[in-house]
Amino acid sequence: MSDISENPYVRGIEHVTLAEDRRSVRILDQTQLPGREVYKDVSTPEACFDAIRKLEVRGAPCIGIFAGYAMVVLAQPYIDMNAVDFRVKMREIAAYLNSSRPTAVNLSWALGRMEAVIADHFNDGVPTILDCMARESLAIHEEDRAMCRRIAEYGLSLINDGDGILTHCNAGPLATSEYGTALGPILLGSEQGMSFHVFADETRPLLQGARLTAYELTKAGVDVTLICDNMASLVMKNGWVQACFVGCDRVAANGDFANKIGTSGVAVLARYYGIPFYTLGPTSTIDMSCATGDDIRIELRDPEEIRSLWYREAMALPETKCYNPAFDVTDHELVTAIVTDRGIVYPPFDVNLKKLFA
C-alpha cells in the first residue's frame, strides 16, 4: 500500500484559502481537474458568484467555506463606512452570492453566520466587525475539518476491510475541507491499513465522479474503478458492492435529501439488491426548516452541459430540448442511515433528526 498519509489529497489540500491581506480568496479551480491544477484568486462579487455558479468551487460544505471567506474579502472596500450602511451593503452582497446556486443549504447557512456576526458586533465599529467576520470565516473552515473527521469515524464503523463501496458524484476532500463526507470513511480506513474497492459513478453530466472522485482516490492510493452511471446496477448485481456512500446538499427534516442528480436512482437500485445505502453529511447540511424533499429547490443548469460541453463536437442538434437538473431528491424510505458528525441517525428520521438538534 502506498504511504497515503504523505498524500495531501487525503489530508485535504488547501483548495480554498483566505489571503493574509483579506483581499482575495484563493481557490483550486475544480473545473480544470484532473488535467490541470490551476489556482486562481477571486476578489470581486462577480468573480465570487461565478466561482460558485461555474463549479470552480463546489460541494456543499466547500461552497459554505468559500462563501464565508468571500464575505470577508467583499467587505474590505467598505471599512470606512458607518455600521448602518455597511450592514445594508453586506446584506446586498450576501443576497447576491446566495442567488448563485439554490440547492446546497451550506451556502445560505454560512452567509447567515456571517450576517449574524455583523449583527452581534454592530456597535463595535466596522474595523472590529471585519476582524470578527474574518475569525468567523476561519471558524467555519476549522469546524468543517472536525465534522468531516467525525463523519469519517462514524462511517468507518459501518464497513469492513475488503468491502466494495459505490459512490456518486464527489463528496471527498475537494467538496469539503478535509477527508470529505462520503469518501471520509474510505480515506480514514485506508490510512489505518484497510482496503476497499470503490466504484465511482462518472456522474453525468458534469462528471465529478470521473474528474474528481477517481482523481482523489487514485492520488490517495485507494483502489477505485470508474463506471458510467448506467453500470451501477450491474456491479451491484455482481455482488461487488457492500455499501453505497453518497454525500448530500440539503437534508430535510423527514430525512429526504438532495444530492447530485442520479443519487436517487442509486438508492432505488441499492434497495432492490438489498445493499445498505447511506448518505453522509455534516449537521450544517441538515435544514430542519425544510419539512420534506418537496421543499428543496432544485437547480436547473445550462443545456449545453448535456449537448456539447464534453465532446469534440456537439452530440445533439442545437435545437434538441434538454432537461438538466443538477440534483434529485432521494426519498427517506430508501435511506438506511444518515451519517453525521453527531452520530449515525437511523429511521424514523423525522423523530431522530430532531433529537440530533435537541
Q: Binding residues for ligand MRU, per CB under 6 A?
A: 55, 58-61, 104, 169, 171, 175-176, 180-181, 208, 247-249, 259-260, 326
Please give the Cα distance from 46 to 1 (Å, whole number).
44
Task: Report, in Å, the least distance between residue 129 CB and ligand MRU.
Answer: 30
CB of 99 to ligand MRU, least distance (A): 16
Which of 262, 291, 293, 327 lies closest to 102, judged by CA?
327
Buried/exposed code over 202-227 (b: 16+ C-beta within 10 A; e: otherwise): bbbbbbbbbbbbbbbbebbbbebebb
What CA–CA distance (Å, rounded) separates 129 from 215? 40
Q: Which of 54, 324, 42 is nearest to 204 (CA)?
A: 324
Question: Catalytic residue numbers?
Answer: 249
Measured from the CB atom, the residue of 31 and 76 that comes closer to ligand MRU is: 31
CB 323 to ligand MRU: min, Å? 16
Pick the closer one to ligand MRU by CB: 1 or 38: 38
Nearer to ligand MRU, 22 or 332 (CB): 332
> Rounded distance, CA 24 to CA 295, Å?
35
Shortest Å, Cβ 49 to ligand MRU: 15
List strand residue ranges (DSSP E) for 169-305, in order.
197-201, 223-227, 243-246, 250-252, 257-260, 277-280, 286-287
Closest CB to ligand MRU among 55 and 353? Answer: 55
118, 241 contact by CB (below 8 A): no
CB closest to ligand MRU, residue no: 247
Please report how the helices 60-75 and 83-98 are oriented relative to each other, as an axis angle in degrees rounded to 10: 150
Q: How far is the CB of 260 from ligand MRU (least distance, A)?
A: 3
For the beta carbon of residue 169, count every other beta carbon within 10 angstroms. 29
Q: Which is nearer to ligand MRU, 259 or 283 (CB)?
A: 259
C-beta of residue 282 within 8 angstroms of C-beta of residue 148: yes
